[in-house]
Structure 1
Amino acid sequence: MTGSLLCILFAFVLLPLTSSGETRSPNDPVVYYIPVEQTVERGLLAFLERGFSEAIEEGADHIILDIHTPGGAVDAANDIAKLMGNTDIPITAYVNTDAISAGAYIALNADNIVMAPTGSMGSAGVIDGAGNAAEEKTQSYWLSRMQAAAELNDRDPLYALAMADNRYDLPELGSGPGEFLTLNAQEAMDVRYAEAIVNDRSEILEFLGLEGAHEIQMEVTVAEQIARIVTHPVVIPILLSIGSLGLVLELYSPGFGIPGIMGISALLLFFFGHMIAGFAGMESMLLFIVGVILILIEIFLVGFGLFGILGIIAILAGMLLGSYSTAWMLISIVIAIIVTGVASVILFRYFGDKGPWKKIVLNAATTSEAGYITNETRNDLIGEKGEAITPLRPSGTAVIGNEYLDVVTEGRYIGQGSNVIVVKTAGSRIVVREQKEDN
């Protein structure tokens, strides 16, 4: 019953959020709407690949990219442009309402650009993760791609270059040195960077001459929403940090509890998102599962750290195999290691005996003062005599009175059959000495 429910839930996660539209007539042209929203990254690329594939299967006559994005990663935008260039279906970019940075580049690669009255397009300067201008090599590459995208449909490349390079002076468009060009809808029409200004989709179809077309709206699935979040370059090191910190805390706590659940859940999210996005295959998930099993063995069974180390190696290998960028994954792993190390030191040093950490880390000791006794000390045996049943080298068996006991000498060898006397007891330890016969 539980398995069936899980299968139904998983199927729901993979289904689109809405249906595709009204009943289709065989003679109607088909227009496929694909949203280009949020940050441009690898998750969006995987979503668009599915969208283009479905458009081809549906026999679409036209694809309309409904663009509203603040931009994103250069490499993902470039791969999206390649995807657009490799399809024979005409593409129209509908800027509704922002096509900023990488979004402007995607729009320029479309066959047509139409804009909402409040739309804007441009400000495509390349910056790094810290918000600073990217290195000159990256800037030069991006400028060449922006120029090529403009020239693809006979647009003046000057404005595309001004979007990506703030050294251009275009006062007639309100852009001077030190500013990246951003065009509003009317300005885009004036410089022939847009073919029409439209208020809604019906006006887009009228402009394209596709009135009465069968319209299909592609929707992102819940799984793809999750994938887009967890494959974001900023989210990846956060997930890895949570995962590694949770596993480290679990290794220092009894049994399996909240830290382990937290760590494994974060890593599962990582692999789930990368599998949905098409980056990770079954081999990556298999390595992850093997790694988790090895770590659980280390936690629950007596080990020397070997299982834990092998488990960590397996999980790291799975991450590298399932990543879209090995370099960024290595950086993310290093960040996670640093964060985990610093957080562990802080938690164990300053909070180890306080608050909720008292419930996570086992600090209790089973001392004899607290009433914990593993073996009762046999003080009654001191001075008792007996005989060594086995050679004592220095441990063995002796009969003391009528009891056969495990004993140990003070360090000397005592032969089998020799007489012995108990000289000391401590818990289960019974110390004997050879008893010489009186002359």
Structure 2
Amino acid sequence: MQSKGLWVSRWMLLLGLLLAFIAPVRAEDAGRSVLLIEAEGPLTPAMVSYIQRGVRTAEERGAEAMILRLDTPGGQIDLMNEIIQVIRESRVPVVVYVAPRGAIAGSAGTLITLAGHAAAMAPETAIGAASPVGGSGEDLDKTLERKAKEALKAQARGLAERRGEKAVELAEAAIEEAKAVSASEALEAGLVDFIADDPEELLARLDGFTVQVQGEERVLHTAGARIERLPMNPIEQLLHVVVNPNVVFLLFTIGVQAILIEISSPGGWVAGFIGVVCLALGVYGIGVLPVNWLGLIFIIVAFVLFVLDVKAPTHGALTAAGIASLVAGALILFNSAGAPSYARVSVPFVLGVAVTTSAFFLFIVTKAIQAQRAPAMTGAQGLVGATARVRSELNPQGTVFLMGEYWTAEAEDGPIPAGEEVEVVGVEGIRLRVRRKQ
């Protein structure tokens, strides 16, 4: 009996030791988290700010890693370099994940993917086509193109060297030949580390993977980690959206119209405030997008013509010229030769805005012409024929409400109860003569 009790005691002790060892491990696993941020669309300053905030948040929360889900056609090189620098300086491993299905890491997105401490792609995604273009989207001349390509190729080699010779060759081809490859081709060449359908599968594949973070090796423990999503805040979303060329064109159109309304009808502030805000956001968008400044001149000329037609009506001739200038300006502003697709304005959208704007100014011009042709009505003469509402019974005198004011009035055709509408037929000093409205 004593021997059996000793045997049981030993097993209980062993079980206790195992539980003491396993419990902290499980608690540690349960406490692990991975931050997920989602960068979609062309590179913008707002996107850079968002990624910076994501890295800071991941560091503050002690996250095991940060997943940067990327879907971008590319953008300016200086913005790309800022994002790469953020990844380099991060104390948390950054995993660049090209997703969802159909996504692309194009142009600058290629080098951002290479800069990740680990890289992955979803099935049916693509990466590459990283040839440089000019600031307005145009093709560079041969000398500048060669210099730009060599600089980018050197940067790509530096980022891809740890991935092997095939990865370096493919990265250089993406810049030299604008070559793009599928997820499976990128994986085969070593350009990325994994293919994963979703973030959960990616975490499973990352578990046990070794990365270099600020020169030190780190083994990722992502199995069972919870995914914490960090969306863009409202300001980042707004500044990211306004770099769409269609939105920029619309903001300029609304802004100029609002300013013109404020100028033509001074005294208020709502129209002027809206105009200033829209123009400020439009200028921000133009500062990010590749544009042809000649187009902006055409747009300004268009609104000058609209104003002239309002001030000195020409029966729509200047408005028609303004329409043509507005459409031409919008198309020239963003649709310069060689501009990437994300920096081009939609022609149907431009035509729709032009038609709406033209209808607005044609309405104003029509009203201006009618006002010029109408006989002058001033003082008491201007009140004759107006409609008033009886406030206190006219028997025969009482009060009426006319044009925002109360007037003493006298009825010509017998008592009129309160609430009835009357017509002004004459003015005697500060007293109106009225009769029932027929």
- TM-score scaled by length of structure 2: 0.55
* CA distance in 2: counterparts of 1:146 and 1:211, whole angstroms: 36
Following TM superposition, by how much is the alpha carbon of 1:254 offset from its aligned partner in structure 2, in angstroms?
6.4
Tell me the residue number matched to 2:49: 46
Give the SS at the match of 2:371. coil
Cα offsets for 1:298-331 (capped at 9, x unmatched): xxxxxxxxxxxxxxxxxxxxx7xxx699798998
- 1:226: how far off? 1.6
Paired position in structure 1 for 2:363 = 356
The aligned counterpart of 1:401 is none
What are the ranges of 5 or more consecutive residues in structure 2 without an aligned counterpart? 1-25, 208-221, 320-359, 381-438
2:356 equivalent in structure 1: none
Q: Distance in 2 between matches of 1:325 and 1:356?
A: 30
The one-letter amino acid paired with 1:162 is A
Partner of 2:19: none
Percent same amino acid among aligned pairs? Answer: 23
Determine helix, strand or coil for the equivalent of 2:181. Answer: strand
Equivalent position to 1:140, from 133, 144, 147: 147
Using the alignment, how far apart are the partners of 2:306 and 2:86 within structure 1?
A: 47
Q: Specify the alignment match of 2:277 in structure 1.
A: 268
1:344 paired to 2:342: no
Question: How far off is 1:360 after superposition?
Answer: 6.9
What is the CA deviation profile of residues 253-310 of structure 1, one whole-angstrom value per residue up to 9, with x for unaligned ones? 46659xx62x632532565x69xxxxxxxxxxxxxxxxxxxxxxxxxxxxxxxxxxxx
Contact 1:42 1:231 in 2 (8 A): no
Note the aligned Cα RMSD (angstroms): 3.8
- Equivalence for 2:3: none
- Partners in 1 of 2:97 and 2:176 — Cα distance? 24
Structure 2 letter corresponding to 1:161? E
Whole-angstrom distance in 1 between the partners of 2:59 and 2:53: 10
- Structure 2 contact 243–288 (Cα < 8 Å) conserved: no
Aligned partners of 1:237 and 1:336 also within 8 Å: no
Change (3 A) 1:331 1:49: farther
Distance 1:67 1:80 in 2: 12
Letter in 2 for 1:62: A
**Offset at residue 211 of structure 1 (A):** 0.2
State the shift of 1:107 in Å. Answer: 0.5
**For residues 140 and 233 of structure 1, what CA distance do their matches in structure 2 show?**
29
Aligned to 1:107: 113
Matched residues in 2 for 1:360 and 1:250: separation?
Answer: 17
The match for 2:176 is 165
Query: How many residues are treated as equivalent by the alignment?
Result: 286
Question: In structure 1, what is the equivalent of residue 346 of structure 2?
Answer: none
What secondary structure, in the 3-state scheme, does the structure 2 residue paired with 1:193 have? Answer: coil
Distance 1:362 1:264 in 2: 28
Q: Are 2:59 and 1:56 equivalent residues in the alignment?
A: yes
Deviation by residue 1:155-176 (Cα, 9 ceiling, x = unmatched):
443222211222xxxxxxxxxx
2:226 paired residue among 214, 218, 233: 214
2:127 alignment partner, SS class: strand
Letter in 1 for 2:239: A
Which one has the bigger helix percentage?
Answer: 2
The answer to whether the Cα contact below 8 Å between 2:259 and 2:275 also exists between their aligned partners in 1 is: no
Within-5 A mapping of 1:113-262? 113-128=119-134, 131-135=137-141, 136-137=143-144, 140-141=147-148, 143-154=150-161, 155=163, 156-166=167-177, 180-209=178-207, 210-232=222-244, 235-236=247-248, 239-253=251-265, 256=268, 261=271
Q: 1:60 and 1:125 mapped to 2: Cα distance?
A: 35
Distance in 2, Cα, partners of 1:330 & 1:131: 8
What are the ranges of 5 or more consecutive residues in structure 1 without an aligned counterpart? Answer: 1-23, 167-179, 275-318, 375-439
SS at match of 1:356: helix
- Alignment partner of 1:40: what SS? coil
Shift of 1:149: 3.4
1:228: how far off?
0.6
Provide the TM-score with structure 1 as the length reference.
0.55
